[in-house]
Amino acid sequence: MSELELGMVLLSALLHAAWNLFAKGSRDPMSFSLVLSIVPALLLLPLLPFVDLTQVPPAVWKLLCVTGVCHGLYFLFLTMGYERGDLSLVYPISRSAPAFVTLAAVPLLGESVSPLGALGIAVVVVSMWLVQTEGRVRWHGFVEPGTRYAYLALLATVGFSLIDKRAMSLLSAAPWSSAVPKAVLYYFLLCAAAALVFVPNALRRLRPGAFHAVATQEGGRALISVVVSFASYALILEALRSASVSYVTATRQTSVLFAVALGIAFLHERPSRPRIVGAAGTVAGVILIAFA
């Protein structure tokens, strides 16, 4: 990985942690996430005249339906986690997906796990235990509201990671005549599909007047978050053009450390030493998996 590629991936990781900071720091995370969901879905409309949707393979449309459900539930559970738990708790758990994607790929995709990869998975699992229990034996820590929704967001992430991998493989092999890159179209298509799941569920959970307050008082920050989220995605796509996916995946996991640092600096969170060690451990575990 060149210095430029490393810089792009690190910036992507920081931007990803930043928009999660904005969501967690909102007066009403559910209303804030509504803006984050609706705006990218609407941005699909200006792209439609410039693409031939018939070039999208039928199998990709079917996968988009499934990944839309997973992405929509991810936003819902992540937001509900932020309503109940610290950024330094919810974010490291929900971002531990690379370890479990690797594990799920064994029976689902016929992939194998090397001893080093298995060690990485074990490190991530132990680190997640440190994050959620701070090193103590607290079985009820697994069902505390913030932790519970962080794990549900993690489960949704594993699901859409496997689906998106398959969908992008099919889309990459399809003929394409549009000036709009395939990955960009796919991003906005899945945003639209996710909004169909997330928006109705979020609207049922809104407090009276909450959305209007967030839209008027935090609308600018929400729109910035939309741009930041897409910039993070675009930087990763650009880095993947030439850098190894393993290196990119491992380096992007530094977003966990960025999130913990941002939570301390801007949200005045005070994570314990075991939780900080656990957050760092999730990064180390994913690095082991990537290099395996």
Short-list 216, 96, 198, 104, CA closest to 151: 96
- The pLDDT of residue 104 is 76
Tokens of 241: 């053009």
- The pLDDT of residue 142 is 65
- The pLDDT of residue 2 is 83
Number of domains within the chain: 1
pLDDT tens digits for 244-254?
776 777 788 88
- The pLDDT of residue 97 is 81
Number of H helices, E strands in the chain: 14, 0
Q: At a CB cut-off of 8 Å and minimum separation 6, what does 24 contact? A: 82, 87, 90, 263, 267
User: Which has more pLDDT, 221 or 102?
Assistant: 221
- The tally of CA atoms less than 13 A away on the side-chain side of residue 283 is 19
pLDDT tens digits for 177-198?
999 999 999 999 999 999 999 9
Is pLDDT above 70 for 109? no
Buried residues in 105-117 as b, exposed as e (16+ CB within 10 A): beeeeeeebeeeb
CA pseudo-torsion sign 259, 260, 264, 269: positive
Q: Structural domain of residue 37, as residue ranges?
A: 3-291
| 58-62, 89-93, 140-144, 162-166: the lowest-pLDDT one | 140-144
pLDDT tens digits for 118-137?
888 888 888 888 887 777 75
Is pLDDT above 90 for 75? yes
User: Which has more pLDDT, 290 or 52?
Assistant: 52
What's the whole-number mean pLDDT along residues 68-93? 95
The percentage of residues in the chain with a pLDDT greater than 70, rounded to a whole number, is 94
pLDDT tens digits for 199-232?
999 999 998 899 999 989 999 999 999 999 999 9
- The pLDDT of residue 141 is 62
What's the whole-number mean pLDDT along residues 98-104? 76
- pLDDT category, 80, cuts 50, 70, 90? very high
Mean confidence (pLDDT) of the chain: 89
